[in-house]
């Protein structure tokens, strides 16, 4: 990547370009500062107010997930205690938000809603970030190999990419958890809840990662096909640079922009996917706190207790919207031609 040159201010405000280039011996050297395209894009991103607000919102939810035990301790509650004394004979809460229960209690069971809300941020963020990292790593490596090596390697990887993209995503998302539970849990009905939770967690990450890497690999392959004909790649080949160095030291730095843009736009989609699959009953299960699970349980109580439903819905909506806007800002920062 050729560095861009940014002109620095002259030491003397009255100095002119003619005076600098005149052969009098009193010329002054212009100080220059080298910036890579990535540094320029990050500087442009820091000036984007929408991007900074979105980063703040995302950081806020990250802090909620990280410090969930501390927040619950401050409230004085937990995620499992059943406050049956705060429910009427029909299972509806007799209290709203109080100093003891900041968001009230859950209908039917009486569990503290604030505790389950802050702990519910963890599964969505853990699954989304884990899947983004896995799909990014696999997609970049497969795309690099397919685009640079070509030949039978490209044909095999391209066939695998097309095969993965043609599979029915929802059917696999429903079937895989049952298969994993059968393989790793002897009897799901009598197994410990922690074992079932780990199996469900692994199945979510496995399914989303399996279907997520192919689109990024196809994008990277297309970029590499255009870059491998450039002069600096030909020069590296002539000099006998090993293939792995050409891939990761010559090609990869030129792919920073599409990788960052793709992963930033994929992160909110995985958050929605985790919540959606849990809502459909093929994701996490009780007693694991999850926003998708809370939404699924709250659909029958949304009239009697609107806060029960709308808290996780608003949290997911705000988080996904902020990440989507952040992804758009990152795309605009790396490609000024798309700026609105």
pLDDT tens, position by position, 223-252: 888 888 788 787 877 787 787 788 878 788
Q: Cis before residue 59, ω within 30 degrees of 0?
A: no
Best CA proximity match to 305, nearest among 121, 108, 115, 120 = 108
Residues 194-231 have pLDDT tens digits of 777 777 888 888 888 998 899 999 999 988 888 887 88
Q: Tell me the longest C-alpha to C-alpha distance in the chain.
A: 97
Residue keyed to tokens 């995985």 = 270
Least confident of 65-69, 273-277, 332-336: 332-336
Question: What whole-number distance in Å separates Cα of residue 204 and Cα of residue 274?
Answer: 7
pLDDT recorded at residue 229: 79
The beta strands (E) that lie in 43-101 are given as: none
**The most confident of 20-29, 145-154, 225-234, by mean pLDDT:** 145-154
DSSP state of 322: H
Answer yes or no: pTM beyond 0.75: yes
According to DSSP, the residues that pair with 218 across neighbouring strands are none
Termini Cα distance of the chain: 26
């Amino acid at each position: 990547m050729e560095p861009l040159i940014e002109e620095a201010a002259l030491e003397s405000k009255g100095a002119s370009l003619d005076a600098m280039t005149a052969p009098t011996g009193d010329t002054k050297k212009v100080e220059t500062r080298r910036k890579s395209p990535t540094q320029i894009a990050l500087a442009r991103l820091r000036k984007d107010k929408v991007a900074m607000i979105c980063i703040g919102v995302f950081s806020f939810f990250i802090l909620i997930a990280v410090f969930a035990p501390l927040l619950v301790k401050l409230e004085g509650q937990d995620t499992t205690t059943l406050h049956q004394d705060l429910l009427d004979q029909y299972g509806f809460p007799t209290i709203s938000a109080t100093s003891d229960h900041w968001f009230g209690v859950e209908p039917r069971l009486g569990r503290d809603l604030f505790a389950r809300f802050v702990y519910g941020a963890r599964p969505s963020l853990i699954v989304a970030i884990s899947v983004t990292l896995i799909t990014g790593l696999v997609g970049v490596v497969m795309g690099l190999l397919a685009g640079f090596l070509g030949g039978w390697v490209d044909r095999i990887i391209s066939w695998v990419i097309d095969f993965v993209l043609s599979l029915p995503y929802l059917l696999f998302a429903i079937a895989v958890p049952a298969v994993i539970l059968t393989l790793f849990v002897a009897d799901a009905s009598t197994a410990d809840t922690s074992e079932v939770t780990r199996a469900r967690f692994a199945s979510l990450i496995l399914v989303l990662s399996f279907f997520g890497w192919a689109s990024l690999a196809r994008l990277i392959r297309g970029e590499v096909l255009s870059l491998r004909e450039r002069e600096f790649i030909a020069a590296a080949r002539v000099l006998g640079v090993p293939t792995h160095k050409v891939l990761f030291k010559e090609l990869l730095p030129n792919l920073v922009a599409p990788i960052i843009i793709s992963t930033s736009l994929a992160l909110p989609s995985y958050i929605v996917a985790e919540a959606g699959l849990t809502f459909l009953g093929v994701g996490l299960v009780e007693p694991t706190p999850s926003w998708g699970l809370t939404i699924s349980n709250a659909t029958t109580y949304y009239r009697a207790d609107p806060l029960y439903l709308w808290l996780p819905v608003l949290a997911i909506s705000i988080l996904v919207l902020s990440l989507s806007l952040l992804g758009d800002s990152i795309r605009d920062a790396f490609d000024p031609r798309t700026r609105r």
